[in-house]
Structure 1
Amino acid sequence: MVDPGGDIPRVLAELEQLGVTLEKIILTHGHMDHVGGTAALVQATGVPVEGPHREDAFWLHMLDQQAAMMGFEPQPTFVPGRWLEHGDTVSVGHAKLQVIHCPGHTPGHVVLFSEPDRLAWVGDVLFKGSVGRTDFPKGNQQHLVNSIIQRLWPLGDDVRFIPGHGDMSTFGDERLNNPFVADKNFG
Protein backbone atom coordinates (compact mmCIF):
# COMPACT_ATOMS: atom_id res chain seq x y z
CA MET A 1 0.00 0.00 0.00
CA VAL A 2 1.43 3.33 -1.05
CA ASP A 3 0.33 6.45 0.87
CA PRO A 4 -2.75 5.42 2.89
CA GLY A 5 -4.25 8.85 3.48
CA GLY A 6 -7.39 7.66 5.23
CA ASP A 7 -10.69 5.75 4.98
CA ILE A 8 -9.06 2.63 6.38
CA PRO A 9 -12.32 0.63 6.63
CA ARG A 10 -12.69 1.06 2.87
CA VAL A 11 -9.04 0.04 2.31
CA LEU A 12 -9.47 -3.08 4.47
CA ALA A 13 -12.71 -4.00 2.67
CA GLU A 14 -10.99 -3.63 -0.71
CA LEU A 15 -8.08 -5.82 0.40
CA GLU A 16 -10.53 -8.47 1.57
CA GLN A 17 -12.57 -8.28 -1.63
CA LEU A 18 -9.41 -8.69 -3.72
CA GLY A 19 -8.24 -11.55 -1.52
CA VAL A 20 -4.80 -10.05 -1.02
CA THR A 21 -2.63 -9.77 2.07
CA LEU A 22 -1.05 -6.43 2.80
CA GLU A 23 2.74 -6.80 3.06
CA LYS A 24 3.83 -3.28 3.98
CA ILE A 25 3.02 0.41 3.79
CA ILE A 26 5.29 2.65 1.74
CA LEU A 27 5.12 6.42 2.17
CA THR A 28 6.24 8.92 -0.46
CA HIS A 29 6.07 11.94 1.86
CA GLY A 30 4.71 13.16 5.17
CA HIS A 31 1.61 15.18 4.27
CA MET A 32 -1.54 14.03 6.05
CA ASP A 33 -3.47 13.23 2.87
CA HIS A 34 -0.79 10.61 2.18
CA VAL A 35 -0.06 9.31 5.70
CA GLY A 36 -3.19 10.05 7.75
CA GLY A 37 -4.39 6.44 7.75
CA THR A 38 -1.01 4.85 8.39
CA ALA A 39 -1.27 4.34 12.17
CA ALA A 40 -4.79 2.89 11.87
CA LEU A 41 -3.74 0.56 9.06
CA VAL A 42 -0.72 -0.61 11.05
CA GLN A 43 -2.95 -1.20 14.06
CA ALA A 44 -5.39 -3.23 11.95
CA THR A 45 -2.79 -5.29 10.09
CA GLY A 46 0.53 -5.14 11.93
CA VAL A 47 2.46 -4.45 8.72
CA PRO A 48 5.71 -2.46 8.72
CA VAL A 49 6.06 1.09 7.38
CA GLU A 50 8.86 2.17 5.03
CA GLY A 51 9.51 5.76 4.05
CA PRO A 52 9.55 8.54 3.41
CA HIS A 53 13.05 10.03 3.58
CA ARG A 54 14.12 11.16 7.06
CA GLU A 55 13.86 14.84 5.98
CA ASP A 56 10.06 14.49 6.33
CA ALA A 57 10.19 13.38 9.99
CA PHE A 58 8.96 16.81 11.08
CA TRP A 59 5.78 16.32 9.01
CA LEU A 60 5.07 12.99 10.71
CA HIS A 61 5.59 14.56 14.13
CA MET A 62 3.07 17.29 13.16
CA LEU A 63 0.16 15.01 12.20
CA ASP A 64 -2.08 16.49 14.90
CA GLN A 65 -1.41 20.02 13.64
CA GLN A 66 -1.94 18.96 10.03
CA ALA A 67 -5.27 17.36 10.97
CA ALA A 68 -6.38 20.46 12.88
CA MET A 69 -5.50 22.75 9.95
CA MET A 70 -7.59 20.59 7.60
CA GLY A 71 -10.53 20.15 9.99
CA PHE A 72 -9.94 16.43 10.68
CA GLU A 73 -9.79 14.44 13.89
CA PRO A 74 -6.35 14.28 15.55
CA GLN A 75 -4.12 11.59 14.06
CA PRO A 76 -1.59 9.54 16.02
CA THR A 77 2.02 10.11 15.12
CA PHE A 78 4.30 7.23 14.23
CA VAL A 79 7.86 6.55 13.19
CA PRO A 80 8.48 4.37 10.15
CA GLY A 81 10.41 1.17 10.70
CA ARG A 82 12.68 2.22 7.83
CA TRP A 83 13.51 5.65 6.46
CA LEU A 84 14.23 5.53 2.72
CA GLU A 85 17.34 6.95 1.10
CA HIS A 86 18.09 7.76 -2.55
CA GLY A 87 19.27 4.55 -4.21
CA ASP A 88 17.58 2.18 -1.75
CA THR A 89 15.46 -0.68 -2.98
CA VAL A 90 12.04 -1.57 -1.59
CA SER A 91 10.86 -5.16 -2.06
CA VAL A 92 7.18 -5.88 -2.51
CA GLY A 93 6.45 -9.52 -3.22
CA HIS A 94 8.77 -10.39 -6.10
CA ALA A 95 9.00 -6.76 -7.26
CA LYS A 96 11.93 -4.48 -6.50
CA LEU A 97 11.26 -0.74 -6.49
CA GLN A 98 14.06 1.79 -6.80
CA VAL A 99 13.87 4.70 -4.33
CA ILE A 100 14.53 8.14 -5.82
CA HIS A 101 14.77 11.08 -3.40
CA CYS A 102 12.95 14.00 -5.04
CA PRO A 103 12.83 16.97 -2.68
CA GLY A 104 10.82 20.07 -3.44
CA HIS A 105 7.17 19.41 -2.57
CA THR A 106 8.57 18.30 0.79
CA PRO A 107 12.25 17.90 1.67
CA GLY A 108 11.92 14.15 2.20
CA HIS A 109 9.72 13.18 -0.74
CA VAL A 110 10.62 9.92 -2.49
CA VAL A 111 9.51 8.39 -5.78
CA LEU A 112 9.27 4.62 -6.31
CA PHE A 113 10.31 3.22 -9.70
CA SER A 114 9.79 -0.24 -11.19
CA GLU A 115 12.31 -0.58 -14.02
CA PRO A 116 10.76 -3.78 -15.53
CA ASP A 117 7.26 -2.28 -15.51
CA ARG A 118 8.42 1.19 -16.62
CA LEU A 119 6.17 2.56 -13.88
CA ALA A 120 6.74 5.17 -11.17
CA TRP A 121 4.74 6.15 -8.10
CA VAL A 122 5.48 9.87 -7.84
CA GLY A 123 3.31 11.02 -4.93
CA ASP A 124 2.94 14.80 -5.22
CA VAL A 125 6.13 15.54 -7.18
CA LEU A 126 4.52 15.47 -10.62
CA PHE A 127 0.98 15.51 -11.99
CA LYS A 128 -0.48 15.37 -15.45
CA GLY A 129 -0.05 19.00 -16.54
CA SER A 130 1.27 20.24 -13.21
CA VAL A 131 3.70 19.76 -10.32
CA GLY A 132 3.38 19.59 -6.56
CA ARG A 133 2.84 22.68 -4.43
CA THR A 134 5.87 24.18 -2.75
CA ASP A 135 4.21 26.73 -0.49
CA PHE A 136 4.17 24.41 2.55
CA PRO A 137 6.93 24.53 5.20
CA LYS A 138 10.30 23.56 3.71
CA GLY A 139 8.90 23.32 0.17
CA ASN A 140 11.16 24.61 -2.60
CA GLN A 141 10.11 25.18 -6.21
CA GLN A 142 13.63 25.07 -7.65
CA HIS A 143 14.42 21.82 -5.81
CA LEU A 144 11.18 20.34 -7.16
CA VAL A 145 11.94 21.29 -10.76
CA ASN A 146 15.53 20.02 -10.40
CA SER A 147 14.28 16.72 -8.95
CA ILE A 148 11.96 16.18 -11.89
CA ILE A 149 14.42 17.17 -14.61
CA GLN A 150 17.54 15.59 -13.13
CA ARG A 151 16.12 12.46 -11.49
CA LEU A 152 12.89 11.55 -13.28
CA TRP A 153 13.40 12.53 -16.93
CA PRO A 154 16.53 10.35 -17.29
CA LEU A 155 14.40 7.27 -16.48
CA GLY A 156 12.85 7.55 -19.96
CA ASP A 157 9.98 9.15 -21.83
CA ASP A 158 8.10 5.83 -21.87
CA VAL A 159 7.80 5.67 -18.08
CA ARG A 160 4.19 5.83 -16.96
CA PHE A 161 3.55 7.42 -13.58
CA ILE A 162 0.90 7.21 -10.91
CA PRO A 163 0.51 10.58 -9.18
CA GLY A 164 -0.84 11.08 -5.69
CA HIS A 165 -3.84 12.88 -7.21
CA GLY A 166 -5.37 12.85 -10.67
CA ASP A 167 -4.74 10.94 -13.87
CA MET A 168 -1.73 8.92 -14.94
CA SER A 169 0.59 10.20 -17.63
CA THR A 170 4.07 9.51 -19.01
CA PHE A 171 7.28 11.39 -18.46
CA GLY A 172 7.46 11.96 -22.23
CA ASP A 173 4.03 13.60 -22.34
CA GLU A 174 4.98 15.87 -19.45
CA ARG A 175 8.30 16.80 -21.07
CA LEU A 176 6.29 17.98 -24.07
CA ASN A 177 3.23 19.53 -22.44
CA ASN A 178 3.66 20.30 -18.75
CA PRO A 179 4.03 24.09 -18.43
CA PHE A 180 6.16 23.77 -15.27
CA VAL A 181 8.78 21.29 -16.51
CA ALA A 182 8.47 20.99 -20.30
CA ASP A 183 11.76 20.76 -22.15
CA LYS A 184 10.92 23.87 -24.19
CA ASN A 185 11.09 25.92 -20.98
CA PHE A 186 14.65 24.81 -20.21
CA GLY A 187 16.30 24.58 -23.62
Structure 2
Amino acid sequence: MHYQIQPVTSFQQNCTLVWCDRTKRAAIIDPGGEPEVIATLVEQLELVPEYLLLTHGHLDHVGASAPLATRFGVPILGPHHDDAFLIETLEHQRELFGFPPVEPFTPQRWLTDGETIALGEQTLEVIHTPGHTPGHLAYYNRASGLIQLGDVLFRGSIGRTDFPRGDHAQLIASIRERLFPLGDEVSFIPGHGPMSTLGRERRTNPFVRDPA
Protein backbone atom coordinates (compact mmCIF):
# COMPACT_ATOMS: atom_id res chain seq x y z
CA MET A 1 0.00 0.00 0.00
CA HIS A 2 1.22 3.48 -0.87
CA TYR A 3 0.40 6.71 0.94
CA GLN A 4 0.92 10.43 0.62
CA ILE A 5 0.39 13.05 3.30
CA GLN A 6 -1.02 16.47 2.42
CA PRO A 7 -1.13 18.99 5.31
CA VAL A 8 -4.16 21.28 5.06
CA THR A 9 -5.69 24.26 6.90
CA SER A 10 -3.95 26.63 9.29
CA PHE A 11 -3.82 23.71 11.74
CA GLN A 12 -1.52 21.78 9.32
CA GLN A 13 -3.70 18.70 9.65
CA ASN A 14 -2.40 15.59 7.88
CA CYS A 15 -4.91 14.60 5.23
CA THR A 16 -3.69 11.22 3.97
CA LEU A 17 -4.22 9.45 0.67
CA VAL A 18 -3.76 5.67 0.86
CA TRP A 19 -4.07 3.38 -2.12
CA CYS A 20 -3.61 -0.12 -3.45
CA ASP A 21 -0.44 -0.25 -5.54
CA ARG A 22 -1.87 -2.37 -8.33
CA THR A 23 -5.42 -1.06 -8.69
CA LYS A 24 -4.94 2.60 -7.66
CA ARG A 25 -8.12 2.28 -5.57
CA ALA A 26 -7.77 4.93 -2.88
CA ALA A 27 -9.18 6.32 0.33
CA ILE A 28 -8.97 9.95 1.41
CA ILE A 29 -8.49 9.99 5.18
CA ASP A 30 -9.37 13.09 7.22
CA PRO A 31 -9.92 15.74 4.52
CA GLY A 32 -9.84 18.65 6.94
CA GLY A 33 -10.03 21.49 4.44
CA GLU A 34 -8.72 22.91 1.16
CA PRO A 35 -10.70 20.51 -1.05
CA GLU A 36 -9.13 21.82 -4.27
CA VAL A 37 -5.63 21.04 -3.00
CA ILE A 38 -6.66 17.50 -2.07
CA ALA A 39 -8.57 16.92 -5.32
CA THR A 40 -5.62 18.15 -7.39
CA LEU A 41 -3.29 15.72 -5.62
CA VAL A 42 -5.71 12.83 -6.19
CA GLU A 43 -5.81 13.63 -9.90
CA GLN A 44 -2.04 14.13 -10.20
CA LEU A 45 -1.49 10.68 -8.67
CA GLU A 46 -4.15 9.22 -11.00
CA LEU A 47 -5.97 7.61 -8.09
CA VAL A 48 -9.48 6.18 -8.08
CA PRO A 49 -11.12 7.29 -4.82
CA GLU A 50 -13.52 4.81 -3.24
CA TYR A 51 -14.12 6.30 0.22
CA LEU A 52 -13.63 9.26 2.47
CA LEU A 53 -12.62 7.91 5.88
CA LEU A 54 -12.83 10.00 9.05
CA THR A 55 -10.94 9.32 12.26
CA HIS A 56 -13.05 11.69 14.36
CA GLY A 57 -15.43 14.61 14.19
CA HIS A 58 -13.27 17.66 14.77
CA LEU A 59 -13.60 20.26 12.03
CA ASP A 60 -9.92 20.34 11.08
CA HIS A 61 -10.23 16.64 10.14
CA VAL A 62 -13.58 16.66 8.32
CA GLY A 63 -14.11 20.16 6.88
CA ALA A 64 -13.70 19.23 3.20
CA SER A 65 -15.65 15.96 3.37
CA ALA A 66 -18.87 17.08 1.68
CA PRO A 67 -17.37 18.80 -1.40
CA LEU A 68 -14.89 15.97 -2.00
CA ALA A 69 -17.56 13.28 -1.60
CA THR A 70 -19.64 15.10 -4.20
CA ARG A 71 -16.72 15.68 -6.56
CA PHE A 72 -15.62 12.06 -6.61
CA GLY A 73 -19.01 10.43 -6.01
CA VAL A 74 -17.83 8.44 -2.99
CA PRO A 75 -19.36 7.71 0.43
CA ILE A 76 -18.18 9.20 3.71
CA LEU A 77 -17.43 6.45 6.24
CA GLY A 78 -16.76 6.94 9.94
CA PRO A 79 -16.07 7.94 12.52
CA HIS A 80 -17.75 5.86 15.24
CA HIS A 81 -21.30 6.98 16.04
CA ASP A 82 -20.15 8.33 19.41
CA ASP A 83 -18.76 11.32 17.49
CA ALA A 84 -22.11 12.16 15.89
CA PHE A 85 -22.50 15.10 18.28
CA LEU A 86 -19.38 16.67 16.75
CA ILE A 87 -20.46 16.14 13.14
CA GLU A 88 -23.76 17.80 14.05
CA THR A 89 -22.01 20.91 15.43
CA LEU A 90 -19.61 21.76 12.59
CA GLU A 91 -20.97 25.29 12.25
CA HIS A 92 -20.30 25.93 15.94
CA GLN A 93 -16.77 24.54 15.56
CA ARG A 94 -16.25 26.76 12.52
CA GLU A 95 -17.20 29.87 14.46
CA LEU A 96 -15.09 28.84 17.43
CA PHE A 97 -11.88 28.36 15.43
CA GLY A 98 -12.43 30.95 12.71
CA PHE A 99 -12.52 28.48 9.82
CA PRO A 100 -14.11 29.31 6.45
CA PRO A 101 -17.71 28.15 5.78
CA VAL A 102 -18.15 24.38 5.89
CA GLU A 103 -20.78 22.31 4.10
CA PRO A 104 -22.70 20.11 6.57
CA PHE A 105 -22.93 16.36 6.00
CA THR A 106 -23.92 13.08 7.59
CA PRO A 107 -21.67 10.05 7.01
CA GLN A 108 -23.21 7.36 4.84
CA ARG A 109 -22.08 4.86 7.46
CA TRP A 110 -20.70 5.03 10.97
CA LEU A 111 -17.94 2.49 11.61
CA THR A 112 -17.29 0.17 14.55
CA ASP A 113 -14.27 -1.57 16.03
CA GLY A 114 -13.22 -4.70 14.14
CA GLU A 115 -14.69 -3.80 10.76
CA THR A 116 -12.55 -4.10 7.65
CA ILE A 117 -12.56 -1.90 4.56
CA ALA A 118 -11.45 -3.33 1.21
CA LEU A 119 -9.32 -1.04 -0.91
CA GLY A 120 -8.44 -2.79 -4.13
CA GLU A 121 -6.27 -5.72 -3.03
CA GLN A 122 -5.55 -4.13 0.34
CA THR A 123 -7.53 -4.08 3.60
CA LEU A 124 -7.85 -1.46 6.30
CA GLU A 125 -8.78 -2.61 9.80
CA VAL A 126 -10.92 -0.27 11.90
CA ILE A 127 -9.76 0.17 15.51
CA HIS A 128 -11.84 2.17 18.01
CA THR A 129 -9.43 4.45 19.91
CA PRO A 130 -11.52 6.70 22.18
CA GLY A 131 -10.11 9.38 24.46
CA HIS A 132 -9.39 12.43 22.31
CA THR A 133 -13.03 12.06 21.28
CA PRO A 134 -15.38 9.21 22.23
CA GLY A 135 -15.85 8.01 18.65
CA HIS A 136 -12.25 8.24 17.46
CA LEU A 137 -11.04 5.54 15.03
CA ALA A 138 -7.72 4.41 13.59
CA TYR A 139 -7.20 2.69 10.22
CA TYR A 140 -4.57 -0.06 10.06
CA ASN A 141 -3.08 -1.76 7.01
CA ARG A 142 -1.51 -4.86 8.50
CA ALA A 143 0.25 -5.88 5.27
CA SER A 144 2.38 -2.73 5.18
CA GLY A 145 2.54 -2.11 8.93
CA LEU A 146 1.03 1.37 8.55
CA ILE A 147 -1.68 2.95 10.67
CA GLN A 148 -3.44 6.32 10.42
CA LEU A 149 -3.99 7.48 14.00
CA GLY A 150 -5.68 10.85 13.78
CA ASP A 151 -5.20 12.74 17.05
CA VAL A 152 -4.53 9.86 19.43
CA LEU A 153 -0.74 9.73 19.43
CA PHE A 154 1.99 12.01 18.09
CA ARG A 155 5.76 11.90 18.00
CA GLY A 156 6.62 12.74 21.58
CA SER A 157 3.08 13.67 22.60
CA ILE A 158 -0.55 12.54 22.79
CA GLY A 159 -3.93 13.95 21.82
CA ARG A 160 -5.67 16.63 23.83
CA THR A 161 -8.50 15.57 26.12
CA ASP A 162 -9.80 18.98 27.18
CA PHE A 163 -12.38 19.13 24.40
CA PRO A 164 -16.02 18.07 25.01
CA ARG A 165 -16.22 14.40 26.08
CA GLY A 166 -12.46 13.93 26.00
CA ASP A 167 -11.15 11.39 28.53
CA HIS A 168 -7.45 11.24 29.43
CA ALA A 169 -7.53 7.81 31.08
CA GLN A 170 -9.41 6.41 28.12
CA LEU A 171 -6.87 7.90 25.70
CA ILE A 172 -3.94 6.32 27.55
CA ALA A 173 -5.76 2.97 27.58
CA SER A 174 -6.37 3.22 23.83
CA ILE A 175 -2.67 3.75 23.18
CA ARG A 176 -1.33 1.13 25.57
CA GLU A 177 -3.99 -1.55 25.15
CA ARG A 178 -5.13 -1.16 21.52
CA LEU A 179 -2.16 0.32 19.66
CA PHE A 180 1.09 -0.78 21.29
CA PRO A 181 0.17 -4.50 21.02
CA LEU A 182 0.20 -4.11 17.21
CA GLY A 183 4.00 -4.13 17.40
CA ASP A 184 6.97 -1.79 17.72
CA GLU A 185 7.68 -1.83 14.01
CA VAL A 186 4.30 -0.34 13.04
CA SER A 187 4.66 3.13 11.50
CA PHE A 188 1.94 5.67 12.16
CA ILE A 189 0.67 8.81 10.50
CA PRO A 190 -0.57 11.24 13.15
CA GLY A 191 -3.20 13.88 12.64
CA HIS A 192 -0.53 16.59 12.82
CA GLY A 193 3.23 16.60 12.57
CA PRO A 194 5.81 13.99 11.57
CA MET A 195 5.41 10.24 11.44
CA SER A 196 6.84 7.88 14.02
CA THR A 197 6.66 4.24 15.07
CA LEU A 198 4.76 2.67 17.93
CA GLY A 199 8.05 1.31 19.26
CA ARG A 200 9.68 4.72 19.38
CA GLU A 201 6.74 6.15 21.32
CA ARG A 202 6.55 3.17 23.65
CA ARG A 203 10.21 3.70 24.54
CA THR A 204 10.50 7.50 24.56
CA ASN A 205 7.16 9.27 24.68
CA PRO A 206 6.93 10.82 28.19
CA PHE A 207 3.13 10.39 28.31
CA VAL A 208 2.93 6.67 27.49
CA ARG A 209 6.41 5.13 27.57
CA ASP A 210 7.14 1.93 29.42
CA PRO A 211 8.09 2.37 33.10
CA ALA A 212 11.83 2.53 33.68
TM-score, structure 2 length as denominator? Answer: 0.85
Equivalent position amino acid for 1:116 in 2: A
Quote the Cα distance in structure 1 between the aligned partners of 2:89 and 2:111. 19
Alpha-carbon offset, residue 74 of structure 1: 3.0
2:117 counterpart residue number: 90
1:63–1:74 Cα contact (<8 Å) kept: no
Counterpart position of 2:209: 182
SS in 2 for 1:184: coil
Moved over 3 A (4+): none
Q: Does 1:50 align with 2:77?
A: yes
Q: Name the counterpart of 2:137.
A: 110
Q: In the TM superposition, what whole-angstrom CA distance separates every residue of 1:47-92 from its partner, at most 9, and x where no partner exists?
A: 1111000000000000000011111233222111111101111122
CA contact (8 A) 1:28 1:122 kept: yes
Mapped partners of 1:133, 1:184: distance in 2? 22
How far apart, in 1, do the equivalents of 2:147 and 2:90 lie? 26
Distance 1:93 1:62 in 2: 34
Counterpart of 2:193 in structure 1: which amino acid? G
What is the match of residue 64 of structure 1? 91
* Deviation string, structure 1 residues 103-157 (Cα, Å, up to 9, x no partner): 0000000011111111110000000000000000000100000000000011011
1:124 and 2:156 correspond = no
Q: 1:100 Cα deviation (Å)?
A: 0.6
Pair 1:79-2:106 in alignment: yes
- What is the alpha-carbon distance in structure 2 between the residues aligned to residue 23 and residue 99 of structure 1? 16
The separation in 2 between residues aligned to 1:76 and 1:19, in whole angstroms, is 26
Structure number with higher strand proportion? 2
Gaps of 5+ in 2: 1-27
Which of 16, 25, 29 is the equivalent residue of 1:2?
A: 29
Q: Structure 2: how far apart are the matches of 1:72 and 1:168?
A: 26
The whole-number CA distance in structure 2 between the counterparts of 1:38 and 1:120 is 20
Could you tell me which of 43, 47, 57 is aligned with 1:16? 43
- What is the DSSP-based 3-state SS (H/G/I as helix, E as strand, rest coil) of the residue aligned with 1:162? strand
Q: Secondary structure at the match of 2:49?
A: coil
- Two-structure CA RMSD over aligned residues (Å): 1.0
1-side partners of 2:166 and 2:155: how far apart?
20
Structure 2: how far apart are the matches of 1:130 and 1:9? 31
Contact 1:100 1:111 in 2 (8 A): yes
Name whichever structure is richer in helix by fraction.
Answer: 1
Offset, 1:15: 1.3
1-side partners of 2:46 and 2:125: how far apart?
27
Specify which of 102, 107, 127 is matched with residue 100 of structure 1.
Answer: 127
* Offset at residue 184 of structure 1 (A): 1.5
Q: Distance in 1 between matches of 2:47 and 2:113?
A: 29
Counterpart of 1:30, as a letter, is G
